[in-house]
Amino acid sequence: MDGVPAVQQCPIAPGKTFTYRFRADLYGSSWYHAHYTIEYVLGIVGPMIIHGPENYPYDVDLGPVFIQDHYHKGFWELLEDVMSTDLGTSIGAGTSDNNLINGKNNFNCSSTNSTNPCVSNAGLSQFYFKPGKWHRLRLINAGAVGLQHFSIDGHKMDIIATDFVPCVRNTQTVAPLGIGQRMDVLVYGSGKEGESYWMRSVIQQCSGAKNPVALAVVHYPGSDQTLAPTTEAWADDLPPCQDLDASFLVPFHPSTPQPPAESYTVNIAFGPNATGHWLWTMNGVSFRGDYDAPTLLMTKAARNTSQPYPFPPYYNAYTTNPANDTTQVVMFHLNNTVPVAHPFHFHGHNMYLLSQGEGPWNGSVTSSPNPPRRDVFILPPSGHLVISYNATNPGAWPMHCHIAWHISTGLFIQTVEQTDWIQQYMSIPESLAQCCREWWDYSGHNVVSFPLCLKF
């Protein structure tokens, strides 16, 4: 489990604590964040680095470069706008006020009518390069909506990892990052003492943004920190709102996807429901979480039945049990009927990229014996994304668009992987039952049947 309320656990009630212990069997650059409504957009979020083997040498680890679109509205204000029955208000909620690199960028507070605290020209993040040295930067798009193009004036970047997957080193001038995506890059200190350069991240046109350009400064020793750099941006000829071409995302450790034992097609659509709220649907169903009855715990509570739990349709649960097949591989074909890009994230797995592009899928998959693997791929506007994965991680795992407003409005399914194993072998700590009891106390919901069987 990785802490998603309604899927693997009850939410942590106000004033209570919950401790996560996990085996760090993947390594690289990532981030932690709340998965409860839109809390991460309002600040329950941070970088997380897991150190591991290094495939390419470098001299200086500059740590996370945390990139976030930023909103001056408050929690309820944003959420009410997102959930508005007025389509313009709902879409407009996704227009960010600012764009941040490691939490900073200058801003003119008079340009917002928000009454929340605001300090104009609060300053820029500063990075310090050494001439002749290689620097590792860990780019993380932890924003709400904005798909970003990151670059450093005058410096190329060698990509060495995408999400948790080390890749074969390749050189780029611009790094595209959808929400949730990470890239580790090595940058050579080609500047001279006394120089400074702009670092930039630009929100792309598929995402609404009042101030799309985030700036930070790269200094070399002896630079005058009172002067702004005078450097120019690289020409950006990458298509907006798409992943880097697959030819640049070759995993360092090769792995060939086996044919799938199970395949699912999921159609994505957008429209008003009976109350006039604009919701995303996946195969006609808009996800709604039941915080009182998390999927994993309900599956476990039904142990000894050897049957999937009969979840109601709004759980959007796909039971995948390929354990007895020739391969333990599951394939998902996401078909986007709407001209909006979605960075799709799958918890608990690295996905193989089989096909990705605009328009409907023609049924063919990559012939590459080592296709890109990562845990977020961008589903193109009115396009398709076909992925597969080794279903060897028993649990309940969300597969969702990582745009915060789209999650809130239902663009979310979950897989229940290896029901039998969960029911027979998975040990669930008492702390999860305690967390639910605290949540039920807080929420005041009278859950009658579930607590009786919630003894793992």
Of 40 and 197, nearer to Cu ion (C-beta) is 40
Smallest distance, Å, CB 343 to Cu ion?
A: 7
CA nearest neighbour of 175 among 164, 166, 186: 186
Smallest distance, Å, CB 195 to Cu ion?
A: 40
CA distances (Å), origin 39, targets 18, 77, 102, 145 = 17, 13, 18, 14
Smallest distance, Å, CB 342 to Cu ion?
A: 3
- Relative to beta strand 125-128, strand 213-219 is parallel
Of 102 and 409, nearer to Cu ion (C-beta) is 409
Smallest distance, Å, CB 100 to Cu ion?
A: 21
Smallest distance, Å, CB 412 to Cu ion?
A: 10
Of 140 and 401, nearer to Cu ion (C-beta) is 401
Smallest distance, Å, CB 358 to Cu ion?
A: 16
- Relative to beta strand 148-152, strand 196-203 is antiparallel
Of 220 and 344, nearer to Cu ion (C-beta) is 344
Q: What is the DSSP string of 204-236?
A: -TTS-BSS-EEEEEEE-TT--TTSPP---PPP-
Smallest distance, Å, CB 206 to Cu ion?
A: 10
Which residues ranging from 309 to 348 are in contact with Cu ion (CB under 5 A)?
A: 342
3-state helix, strand, coil in the chain (%, to 5): 15, 35, 50
Of 124 and 179, nearer to Cu ion (C-beta) is 179
Q: Which of 261, 282, 401, 432 binds Cu ion (CB under 5 A)?
A: 401
Of 173 and 414, nearer to Cu ion (C-beta) is 414
Helix residue ranges per DSSP H, 93-244: none
Of 196 and 408, nearer to Cu ion (C-beta) is 408
Of 200 and 342, nearer to Cu ion (C-beta) is 342
CA distances (Å), origin 120, targets 73, 105, 278 = 16, 10, 35
Stretch that binds Cu ion, among 5-13, 99-107, 119-127, 403-411 (CB under 5 A): 403-411
Could you give the string, one character per residue 187-216, with x where binding to Cu ion holds by CB under 5 A and - elsewhere? ------------------------------
- Contact of 384 with 335, CB cutoff 8 Å: yes
Smallest distance, Å, CB 102 to Cu ion?
A: 25
Size of the site for Cu ion (CB under 5 A): 4
Q: Which residue do the tokens 């995303």 mark?
A: 280
User: CB under 8 Å to 424, separation ≥6 — which residues?
Assistant: 303, 304
Which token pair is 453? 């069987």
Instruction: Note whether 403 binds Cu ion by CB under 5 A.
Output: yes
- Contact of 7 with 294, CB cutoff 8 Å: yes
| Residues at the site binding Cu ion, with contacts judged by CB under 5 A | 342, 401, 403, 406
